[in-house]
Amino acid sequence: MPNGSSALNSNVGCVMGSSPGVEAGCRPASSRFLALYYLERPLARLTGRVQLCYNRHRMHGSAPTMDAAKTLCDALENAKHEHLVVVTGAGVSHASGIPTFRGTDPGAVWSKDVTELGTYRYFLLDPVGSWQWYTSRFDHVLNKQPNAAHVALAELERWQQSQGGRFTLVTQNVDPLHERAGSRALIKVHGSADRVRCIKQNCANGPPFGALDRSEVDFTAFQANPGCDTLPMCPACGSLLRAHVLWFDEYYDGHADYRWSEVVAAARGLSLVLFVGTSFAVGVTDLFVQALVQREVPALAIDPSQRSAPYRGIDMIAEKAEVLLPEVCRRLGAT
């Protein structure tokens, strides 16, 4: 990855001079949720009620504890006729061989600098370096398969709906593993690794509505010889293409595919929320924690590292999701 101003500016000619009409990377708007919102404005400043206290169910061995499975089963039974929202983060895909973004994993993507690569600003400064990193990572991600946690969440969706309840799965992950496992009531609030989009506003392939399947773009020349002259370009207008993901200096309402209004509606109308494999470090989790604070609805979080939750009302379950969730589905008769 380039370091220093000279390295960062080495490819600046790829995009500079073509800024009119391109996406705005970061616009002041106090009522909008920035991707890095939670890190920049801790929830404690907003509510004054956040406490780093939580209940734990400890994991012993490879099988889930009776208390952990029973706790989750009871909560799901109580909400089976209502609106269950599941919010997943990178931890749910860890068992599929995809590194987490933070935490203790030595391969964590943002372990060095959360804003070093994942910003629109960096893309404009060095689109070649940005695309090199993303093509390498996305090729890895797109070759992975769902694990037992993904499959169990798809089963839980069908079970909840069969009971007359509502189900919404909001994932922070850009991998395609939830949909490959069969999830249908799915919102990919941070975008998709298997799609790209034009940087030009209102282009057929650009924001606020346009995007392309990654398979429609030939990356062969770029991967063989990365440079300004081989960067992927929009087939409709000739502007640069970018990854179809939400960067840390962008807003959740920046593209229709993030379906932010539906996420907000889910937060306002949920009856139970289950967090799986998230570090509670971005805007979407902050939104749901605010909803818990304001509405006092029950919440559980599955995290084998026993990371503390940002609010007392979240019941932490220190289990591996790929172990616990299949057992819970078995007990519910959801398999």
How many Cβ atoms from other residues are within 10 Å of residue 20's Cβ?
A: 7
pLDDT digits (tens, 9 = 90+) for 21-39: 556 443 333 346 666 543 3
Residues near 137 by Cβ (< 8 Å), separated by ≥ 6? 109, 193
Cα–Cα distance measured from residue 122 to residue 5, given in angstroms and rounded to the nearest whole number: 11
Per-residue pLDDT, 281: 84
Q: Which of 148, 138, 185 is nearest to 166 (CA)?
A: 185
Q: pTM to 2 decimals?
A: 0.84
Binned at pLDDT 50, 70 and 90, residue 99 comes out as confident
Catalytic site residue from 178, 190, 244, 255: 190
Name the average pLDDT for the chain.
83
Opening angle at CA 100, ends 305 and 242, nearest 5: 155
74-102: average pLDDT: 93
Per-residue pLDDT, 59: 36
Higher pLDDT among residues 238 and 6, named by residue: 238
Given a cut of 90, whether residue 128 has pLDDT beyond it is yes
Opening angle at CA 23, ends 17 and 27, nearest 5: 110
190 catalytic? Reply is yes
Given a cut of 50, whether residue 332 has pLDDT beyond it is yes
- % of the chain residues with pLDDT over 70: 74
Per-residue pLDDT, 308: 66
Question: Residue 273 pairs with which residues in a beta bridge?
Answer: 85, 299
Per-residue pLDDT, 14: 64
Q: Which domains does the chain have, with CATH numbers?
A: 35-98+146-190+258-335 (3.40.50.1220), 105-143+193-245 (3.30.1600.10)
